A and B are shown apart, each in its own frame.
Chain A
């Protein structure tokens, strides 16, 4: 029996390795092509200037390997289109994630121990916002925002704030599910003890519930932030004249990309991995070596 089960374990492991290679190959290509040179004829046609200063329109084919260059990182950091777009995206993602986590946390507390009669209609709404194809939400939001602004001039015009308003629809649902899964998983004995001892909801929340929910709140925030920051479809329809990072990326991919884009993406990936690694280490420390909760919070994404 044992050798047979070992054999199937080896088979599964090999397949998993293949899949992880598939998942990471494009990322490796992205990093590699951040060091790519313009096409040889582009360099020949632009004598005397740094390869990275050749205009994007004359750069030639950069989806094949032309040679090694490091100047794109500096070039990317000073790009007049990409840098403001990245900042705008970060601002939008921060606000959308913060509001979503607050809404999601409040709803999670109320719904976790509510009777199914009250909970299920809300749940249906939450799952709907997550499963309806984003293109449908995007065009619906576009019509809604335009009509809302025409009817009530106080309502924001298409732009920064309409992107935020649209993204909160699905990010608050996601946050609610992550936080509620954790809250339900914790059991209610400590809350019960706190209420029994005469603490009100606010004191119980501050002293008992919230400290234990911090990992879930953090992962809800991180996931919301990530989804907003990377979201293309909804902003593409509700952005007005605001440029976000995915919007400028999409037009770069369609109408001419330079390795500066890869260089910027590489730097952002390094920054994110660093921040996340730090968060995991801190959570591990503060929770006495147990990482199970963190893992579950991430896994709750699709629950």
Chain B
């Protein structure tokens, strides 16, 4: 695109009368180039090599032959791996639903009832981020420990269960859901709800017919921002699942670390992206549309 000149016409500087709004103040477009170049080299470049690797074959220790082999993808279709894919997607879906159930009322409460204390509530949501999530996950493990208070006194022993992994997922992803949902709820005009109440709408139908449609983009981006990264979770299943609830992320990691089979790991990673592509497309459509430019 052309860069609009920053030099105004003489009339514009001397009198307000001749001032035309024919140009918008702009910073030059080339300022975006360093970022663009960086992403093309390191992000697109890395993802392209990943695709190339997934079609390559392992021809010995640390030896790769590029080509167009579907061998790795055939292995991905093995029932063992399909089962891990299914479990990963199911557990991430469950974790996302739990996160929504736990987090949405909190975001709603912050946006609707907090008034001037919103900043404090926001900080309280963010502060846990400042402690290593590994330590927080370890602390969850202490809480859920079979010899701990919860198990011994209350007889709730969740250690190394699917629930432990679920609690870990909700715990770590909750702020990532609350923040975007809060920011869309905060922009809502609450007088609309008063109007609905005046027209004798029940609270839930006012929510369903007014609040939810108006804040749907924030809800959708929040939910997908939780669900998509959750499917690639690597640490939580390892620490809280005790090896019983391996996610596809763990298998991908192992293919590169212990199994020394990068082409297979690459094919798994690409398959994960293919499985998620619908969600990624929805996320991007909603996220790019939701931004409001100018006002």
Give chain A residues whose Cβ lies under 8 Å from the Cβ of B293.
Answer: 112-113, 184
In the bound complex, what is the Cα–Cα distance between A264 and B203 (angstroms)? 48
A158 within 8 A of B: no
Using Cβ atoms and an 8 Å threshold, which residues of chain B touch A125?
Answer: 36, 39, 43-44
Query: Residue B90 at the A interface, CB < 8 A?
Result: no
B253 interfacial by beta-carbon distance below 8 Å: yes
Contact check, A194 vs B25: say whether CB atoms are below 8 A apart.
yes
The answer, among B6, B36, B142, for a CB contact under 8 Å with A195, is B6
Q: Which of B27-57 contact A (CB under 8 A)?
A: 27-32, 34-36, 38-39, 42-47, 49-50, 53
Q: Contact check, B113 vs A115: say whether CB atoms are below 8 A apart.
A: no
Interface string of B1-37 (1 = CB under 8 A from A): 1000011100011000001000111111111101110
Query: Contacts A61-B147, A191-B25 given: A302-B179 contact, CB under 8 Å?
Result: yes
Q: In the complex the two chains form, is A265's CB within 8 Å of B131's CB?
A: yes
Residue of A8, A29, A111 touching B139 (CB-CB under 8 A): A29
The answer on a CB contact under 8 Å between B38 and A103 is yes
- B271-295: which residues lie under 8 A (CB-CB) from chain A? 272-273, 276, 280, 283-284, 287-288, 290-295
Q: How far, in angstroms, from A185 to B132 measured CA to CA in the complex?
A: 32
How long is the Cα–Cα vector from A296 to B293 in the complex, in angstroms? 16
For the A-B complex, the count of residue pairs with Cβ-Cβ distances under 8 Å equals 322
A191 to B8 alpha-carbon distance, docked (Å):
13
CB-CB under 8 A from B164, the residues of chain A are none
**Segment at the interface with A among B73-81, B122-130, B208-216:** B122-130
CB of A56 within 8 Å of the partner chain = no
Contact with B along A260-303 (1 / 0, CB 8 A): 01100100110011001000100000000001101110111111
A176-B249 Cα distance, complex, nearest whole Å: 28
**How extensive is the interface on chain B, given as a class?**
35 or more
Report yes or no: B28 in contact with A128, Cβ–Cβ below 8 A. Answer: no
- Say yes or no for B166: interface residue by CB 8 A criterion: no
Query: Knowing A201-B27, A262-B135, A302-B179 touch, does A29 contact B128 (C-beta < 8 A)?
Result: no
- B183 contacts A299, C-beta separation under 8 Å: yes
Pairwise interchain contact A19-B102, C-beta atoms closer than 8 A: yes
Q: Is B106 an interface residue (CB 8 A)?
A: yes
Per a CB cutoff under 8 Å, which of A115, A172, A195, A226 touches B1?
A115
Q: Select the residue from A104, A133, A192 with max chain B CB neighbours within 10 A.
A: A133
Q: Interface on chain A toward B: helix, strand, loop, or mixed SS?
A: helix
A175 vs chain B, min Cβ distance (A): 9
Establish whether residues A245 and B129, one from each chain, have CB atoms under 8 Å apart when the complex forms: no
Give the residue of B13, B141, B203, B266 whose beta carbon is less than 8 angstroms from that of A8. B203
| A121-162 interface bits toward B, Cβ cutoff 8 Å, 1 = contact, 0 = none | 011111111111111110111111001000000000000000
A63 contacts B145, C-beta separation under 8 Å = yes
Are B287's CB and A127's CB within 8 A? yes
| Interface pick from A41-49, A71-79, A249-257 | A249-257
- For the residues of B in contact with A, the DSSP-based class is helix
A237 sits at the interface (CB 8 A): yes
| Contact A237–B256 (Cβ < 8 Å) | yes
Which of B112, B176, B231, B292 is close to A302, meaning CB atoms less than 8 Å apart? B176
Measured between alpha carbons, how far is A113 from B42 in the docked complex, in Å? 26
The reply to whether A19 and B103 form a contact with Cβ atoms under 8 Å apart is: yes
Q: Is the beta-carbon distance between B139 and A176 smaller than 8 angstroms?
A: no
Residue of A30, A191, A268 near B136 (CB, 8 A) is: A30
In the bound complex, residues from chain A placing their C-beta under 8 Å from that of B130 are 226, 268-269, 272-273, 276
> Which among B137, B183, B186, B225 has the greatest number of chain A C-beta atoms within 10 A?
B183
Residue of B46, B124, B135, B180 near A20 (CB, 8 A) is: B124
Residue interface bits B91-132, CB-to-A below 8 A is 1, else 0: 000000000001101101110110000110111111111111
5 contacts between A and B (CB under 8 A): A8-B203, A133-B272, A184-B295, A302-B221, A302-B225
Chain B contact residues, CB within 8 Å of chain A: 1, 6-8, 12-13, 19, 23-32, 34-36, 38-39, 42-47, 49-50, 53, 102-103, 105-106, 108-110, 112-113, 118-119, 121-143, 145, 147-148, 171, 174-176, 179-180, 182-183, 186, 197, 203, 221-222, 224-225, 228-229, 231-235, 238-239, 249, 252-253, 256, 262, 265-266, 269, 272-273, 276, 280, 283-284, 287-288, 290-295
What 8 A-B pairs are tightest by C-beta distance, nearest first?
A: A133-B232, A302-B180, A26-B139, A144-B46, A110-B31, A140-B46, A110-B32, A12-B109
